[in-house]
Each structure stands twice: as structure tokens, then as C-alpha cells.
Amino acid sequence: AQKVTQAQTEISVVEKEDVTLDCVYETRDTTYYLFWYKQPPSGELVFLIRRNSFDEQNEISGRYSWNFQKSTSSFNFTITASQVVDSAVYFCALKEDPGTASKLTFGTGTRLQVTL
Amino acid sequence: DGGITQSPKYLFRKEGQNVTLSCEQNLNHDAMYWYRQDPGQGLRLIYYSQIVNDFQKGDIAEGYSVSREKKESFPLTVTSAQKNPTAFYLCASSFQRGGADTQYFGPGTRLTVL
């Protein structure tokens, strides 16, 4: 069965610090997709990134970067020079069975609090 | 603007009442989903639909019902059989393509049972 673990329940940092959110997943499939979503206080989940299991290249988008390592089944998310607007709950999710509508398996989320 | 709308934003229900949550999308997505979120937990799938007039149960379908009469709409009914319905409900949609599909979410409906 697929599973996603986000061991960090809550992280507090001061603005401009770098922060890494951990995500570890379990799956028996060789083909799968990993996602990160951001949930600000308003509640809506905002899509951040999708990676497939065949592409282990790290990705950078502005202050955001993602490190995908199949050897450790991890897909970690780093925010560089954090800002107050980054305060939110961040979810990592796993999707098996590509090509069909199926569920996303979510981790329990990491609440990030960025203070001045 | 293209997107997913959910209404109402807040909903209060008395015990024993059925209530219907609305979800509409104008993204021309094929698939639609309903998730439930409880405090401190991730999202859990209630129902999903790949095509009009067809839907499948997710992990926690008991006490819920859905319909998919139009591509744009996927309403969720929380019945009196749902023992603990107070939660945040999120609707999502995605294209159905040969590769992976990314699910995009609506703003959510917060249901409270009084």
C-alpha cells in the first residue's frame, strides 16, 4: 500500500532563513508521481510541483527547490530566504496508477510558520 | 476566469439532516474528486468520477453520496448516516490523459454539525 510520511508536524523559522520540509514515501509501483501542495490559511490547496518517478533531476523555481531521491524514497522541499507569505501547511502527495483517475495519498502536512 | 468553485464556504447542519455541497468547474476537466480534511490530518478521498454518469468510492465513502450528471458539476451529499461529518471538504478536478494528471482544488466548504 502506498504511504506518505511528513514527520515534521510544525516548523517555525525567522524570515530569510532557509527551511527544508521532508517527505518520505512508500510504494510498490515503479511508475508513480509525487506532488507538493501549499495550503494557506484560506484553505485552498495550491499546486506547487509534480515529479514522475523516472525523473530524479532536482528542480528550482525561484525560492523553491525540490530534491527527489529514489534511493531514500524522499522528495524534500526547500524554501530559500523564507518570507512571511510562505506561512502555510504544506502537503506532500503520491499518485500511483498514472493515466487513470485515482486518489492522491497525502501526508499529514507540515505547518510552516515564518515570523519577522 | 477558469477555476473550481465550491459553495457554500461555511455550512451548518443539524444532526439528522442531509446536506449537499456544491462543486463546479469550468476547466473542461474530465475527472472530479471529493476529499475530506480533518484537523491535523491529510486529505482522504471520499468519491471520484472519471466521466459523466460514473463515479467510484474512495477510502471513506460511507455516509456520503454523489452524482455526476454534467461534466462541470459534482455535488456531494452528506447524509445523516455519516457519523462524524464536521470537517473541511475539498473538491478537485483533473484532465484525463495518458500520463499523470494533476489535481487542482477548489476553495473548500467547512461543514459544522450543531
Q: What is the pLDDT of residue B99?
A: 55
Q: What is the pLDDT of residue B39?
A: 86
CA gap B48, B85 in Å, rounded: 18
Q: What is the pLDDT of residue B40?
A: 80
Q: Do B110 and A103 touch (CB under 8 A)?
A: no
A35 near B CB under 8 A: yes
Residue of B nearest to A51 (CA): B100
Evaluate whether A109 touches A93 at the Cβ level (below 8 Å): no
A104 near B CB under 8 A: yes
- Assess whether pLDDT exceeds 90 at residue A102: no
Q: Which residue has the cell 453520496?
A: B65
- Assess whether pLDDT exceeds 70 at residue A45: yes
- Which site among A4, A33, A104, A108 would you substitute to test the B interface, given the most B Cβ atoms closer than 10 Å to its Cβ? A104
Q: What is the pLDDT of residue B9?
A: 94
- CB atoms inside a 10 Å sphere around CB B22: 15
Four-point Cα dihedral B94, B95, B98, B102, nearest 10:
-30
Average pLDDT estimate for A18-22: 98
B97 near A CB under 8 A: yes
**Residues of chain B predicted below pLDDT 50:** none
DSSP three-state, residue A32: strand
Give whole-number Cα distances, B108 to B58, B70, B100, in Å: 18, 20, 24
CA gap A33, A55 in Å, rounded: 10
- Assess whether pLDDT exceeds 80 at residue A103: no
* B84 min Cα distance to partner chain A (Å): 19
